[in-house]
Amino acid sequence: MEILKKIRKIGIGVVGLPGSGKSIVSEVARELNIPTIVMGDIIRQLCRDRGLEINSENVGSIMVGIRQEEGMNCVAKRTLPRIAKVKKNIVIIDGLRSFEEVEFFREHLNKFIIIAIHSSPRTRYGRIRKRNRFDDPQNLKLIQERDLREISVGIAKIIALTDIMFVNEGKIRPLKQRISKILQRIQDNRWK
């Protein structure tokens, strides 16, 4: 059994349903030279390793299946070595899905703060259709199925218990400014 030690880093976990605007946090973090690790990249790599096309159905199936096989925090465990390689003492972890992942990161990082991004279903569906990402569902029914799949894994519990909540329904610039202020406070060790 692999022994995992505590990593001396501040982790900022980002959570939100698809299309809510999680990438905005990563974008602001990049402007502040805070590295980002995307947990979904691990799932997409597992699809590639298994010879599967990267699409909504396969990514969703792997996301649920790997957690059933290895436990609800397995993606967090696979993310930890990537976090350890980050040179800075702070890192954004984009794509939390289960509360067990939160508990894992709180156990293995010096500090772990959760930022949730929330948008209404109507807003999110519009964004998903516009962005036309290769692994996005192609119609409303499939988008709703994806939401329910994410909720079944435990994303709603994380959102309900988040440390910081941003509602993303309006203009991007004021949201980015609010996110930047919070990230700077965390980076300067002025958060809690």
pLDDT tens-digit readout, 33-56: 999 999 999 999 999 999 999 887
Least confident span in 96-105, 117-126, 128-137: 128-137
**pLDDT over threshold 70, residue 31:** yes
Predicted confidence band of residue 1 (pLDDT cuts 50, 70, 90): very low
Q: Note the pTM of the prediction, 2 decimals.
A: 0.88
Catalogue all structural domains in the chain, each as residue range(s) with its CATH number: 7-187 (3.40.50.300)
pLDDT above 90: percentage of residues in the chain: 68
First-to-last C-alpha distance (Å) of the chain: 34
pLDDT computed for residue 64 by the predictor: 87
State the chain's mean pLDDT as an integer.
Answer: 90
Q: What angle do CA 26, 71, 106 make, to 5 degrees?
A: 50
